[in-house]
Structure 1
Amino acid sequence: MAQTGEEIPRKSSSSFSFTDAAEAVLEQFGHKQPVHYRAITEKALTLGLVNTKGLTPEATLYAQVLTETKRQTRRGESPRFIMHGQGMIGLAKWVVGGLAFQIEQHNEGVRKKLHGQLMVMPPAEFEALIVELLAALGFDDVTMTPASGDGGIDVRGTLVVGDVIRTRMAVQVKRWKRNVQAPVVQQVRGSLGTHEQGLIITTSDFSKGACAEAERPNAVPVALMNGEQLVRLLVENDIGVHRTSYDLIELGEGE
């Protein structure tokens, strides 16, 4: 890896995840050229960007970069990393224009259109879409609550993780343009049944007060999903969109 006189300031292990450390190293030392993941890991450890007791930090970094890249691609987003093969990693922002840029521009337009459709689709269709998403996320026994009463809770279900962890969830959905405020979070928390946790899904966003209230210490957790996250998860689970694939051929290494 090429060297430079400008070093990234050392930070505590809590400052960087493996993926953030990889981005920082590539940004500072990559000179817009792919770098092998082992060299990236070595530099990140030397600079103190990550602190791990694991025996194979190189494998951990590579696996996390690969997982993030696959997930962002699945969501139709532009990944921040490009996997060049044979362990070589680069930054996507180094590629200006070209096919990847055009695809991302197209996908961003589709995500915006999908968000717009959420705001105007009939209520029954919107409710069905939310139920489908919750099922795709691992919810079981999903049921819509009556339109009136039940403290504003719209959906109840059980979030199942690996057929081992089962968490009862009460979900409120806000198809709003304005931000959700703290009183809504308080209302949802007050409507939770025994051993239930809350989730608020909105097409807009949450105020700082709402976020603080959702994370208030010694209170039942209330998870928050804003409009951007909602669209990303819909795309990731192929709900409201469909994918088109093409075969792209390139010359092999060294050709």
Structure 2
Amino acid sequence: MTMPTFDKLMTPLLTALIRLGGSGSVDEMYEEVIELEGYSEELTSVLQNPEKSSQPKIAYRLAWARTYLKKAGFLENSKRGVWALTEKAREQPQVDSAEVVRYVRQLDGYAKRDITPPNGALDLDENNGDVPDEAMLWREQLHRILIDEMTPDAFERLTQRILRESGFIHVEVTGRTGDGGIDGRGIARINGLMSFHIAFQCKKYRGSVGAAEIRDFRGATVGRSDRGLFITTGSFTKSAIEEANRDGVPPIDLIDGDQLADKLKELELGVVTEMVEKVTLRNEWFLSI
């Protein structure tokens, strides 16, 4: 099975959203497309750029597919990160990906150059020379800081801070070796009425966390917490996600590198969002005087 180009993911993406009821989060769409297309774990484990990001190559290309479909009027998204089909997409769930790319490129000022490779397949990495937008660049920079510059102890303290800022209480980092993979514990409060104990593991990682690591972590949490939380700078394989949600065993909540970045941005922990003023000149106004 070969790596699909971003344009080949457009129709599967629309189909996935239809199966999800017309809307979904990025993670829901990703998992639905993987299941729909039957992509292997080997394929989904390939990272876009192992040195800069924990994002799987397919997830990266799905992001471009979403961007193009949005500009072409097939998708819309909210500030809360939920993507939805437009009326245009509901009427036309099968898209001509080449036409979508041609339209968007013309819209963005790329009309002067040929965007279709000889083999007819579009590939952002190898054929078109595109670079990630600002949203992708800051994630890559954050990934580099977390992986290359933060010490394991500092990363554990960062996890502790994230949980505290998210409403957890009595959050402690165990800081002990031989604790079965448990890096810390905390208590989650629900509406001030209910609470449950969690054990967490935070792993600085460039690649993908597999099912075996989830099983080992769950084994360490049994009898010591109500549920587990596994946080990584990397990603999770399909089998790891399935193992985390397997019936009949205590669940393990998963936070991958992209979700970690989003949470840091949401909590404004080391990530500052700045609004940039945009000035537009109205030529017709001046000429009408």
Which TM class, normalised by the smaller chain length?
Answer: 0.5 to 0.7
Alignment match, 1:176 = 205
Deviation at 1:119, TM superposition (A): 0.0
Moved more, 218-227 or 190-199: 190-199
Matched, 1:147 2:179: no
Which structure ranks higher in relative contact order (CA pairs < 8 Å, sequence separation ≥ 6)?
Answer: 2
Whole-angstrom distance in 2 between the partners of 1:219 and 1:14: 27
- Kindly indicate whether the alpha-carbon contact (under 8 Å) linking 1:114 and 1:240 is maintained by their aligned counterparts in 2: no
Q: Which residue of 1 aligns with 2:260?
A: 230
- 1:107 equivalenced with 2:107 (yes/no): no
Is residue 23–residue 83 contact of structure 2 (8 Å, CA) maintained in 1?
Answer: no
CA contact (8 A) 1:155 1:172 kept: yes
Residue 234 of structure 2: aligned partner: 204
Q: Which 5+ residue runs of structure 1 have no aligned equivalent?
A: 1-8, 21-26, 34-64, 73-78, 82-92, 98-103
Describe the superposition over 1:1-37 as per-residue Cα deviations: whole angstroms up to 9, x where unpaired: xxxxxxxx999x96414569xxxxxx8xxx849xxxx
**SS state at 1:232 partner:** helix
Instruction: Please identify, of 110-119 and 203-212, the stretch whose mean Cα deviation from structure 2 is larger.
Output: 203-212
For residue 56 of structure 1, what is the aligned residue in structure 2? none
CA distance in 2, matches of 1:196, 1:203: 24
User: Percent same amino acid among aligned pairs?
Assistant: 30
Counterpart of 1:162 in structure 2 is 191
RMSD: 3.7
Q: Which runs of 4+ in 1 moved over 6 A?
A: none
CA gap of 1:242–1:180, structure 2 versus 1, over 3 A, is: same
Q: Is the 8 A contact 1:198 1:223 kept in 2?
A: yes
Distance 1:175 1:129 in 2: 12
Q: TM-score, normalised by structure 2?
A: 0.53
Cα distance change, pair 10–127 in 1 and its aligned pair in 2 (3 A): closer
* Partner Cα separation in structure 1 for residue 218 and residue 15 of structure 2: 41
- Residue identity matched to 2:263: L
Pick the aligned partner of 1:187 from 216, 221, 226: 216
AA in 1 matched with 2:236:
F
CA displacement at 1:183 relative to structure 2 = 1.8
Aligned residues: 183
Distance 1:230 1:149 in 2: 26
SS at match of 1:230: helix
The residue aligned with 1:71 is 80
